[in-house]
Structure 1
Amino acid sequence: MGKFVISPTSNDQYHFNLKADNGQVILSSERYNSKASCLNGIESVRTNAPDDDRYDRKTSSNGKPFFNLKAANGQIIGTSELYESTAGRDNGIESVKRNAPTALVEE
């Protein structure tokens, strides 16, 4: 089972990483001004993760595939790592779909 790991950042902000059950980070959030906002971001990931239309499949400037998970309003709520192949990126999306809805929250 995956887990969301909340971490404080500089300037009293927070962010989270969604980790697969093997411990690998599969999605990272933006920075939030409060822990409550960070928890709302996690709930948005849980809600939107199962919907394939919420994934924006992209290619970085150096040619590596990645994806953004977007909320219904189009706001990016999580970004993946850079992958070596589109197949790796697509596996990452499937991992988010599988892990996010039931992932525990760890601080």
Structure 2
Amino acid sequence: MAGKYEVFADDEGGFRFRLKASNGDIVATSQNYKTKTSVLRGIDVLRKNAETDKVTDLTVAPS
């Protein structure tokens, strides 16, 4: 089973999503969004950006 996104209402009256791995572990939790539409847009942005293979390692000093 692949990972999945879960949308939920938070304690601040807004919405958040969490990304769960196939084993059920939570990989990431989003910021607060005011509307359900905006949280769904946030998921779409993450999906599109996740397609990149670029990784910037900030623990390595530039040469």
Larger of the two Rg values belongs to structure: 2
Q: Deviations over 1:50-105 (max 9, x none)?
A: 2133x56568xxxxxxxxxxxxxxxxxxxxxxxxxxxxxxxxxxxxxxxxxxxxxx
Q: Name the structure 2 match of 1:47.
A: 48
| Higher relative contact order, chain-length normalized (CA < 8 Å, sep 6+) | 1
TM-score by length of 2: 0.77
Secondary structure of the residue aligned to 1:10 is: coil
TM-score by length of 1: 0.48
Runs of 4+ in 1 over 2 A off after TM superposition: 55-59
Q: Larger strand proportion, structure 1 or 2?
A: 1
Q: Larger helix proportion, structure 1 or 2?
A: 1
- Structure 1, gaps ≥5 residues long: 60-107
Aligned length: 58
Q: Name the structure 2 match of 1:27.
A: 28
Secondary structure of the residue aligned to 2:34 is: coil
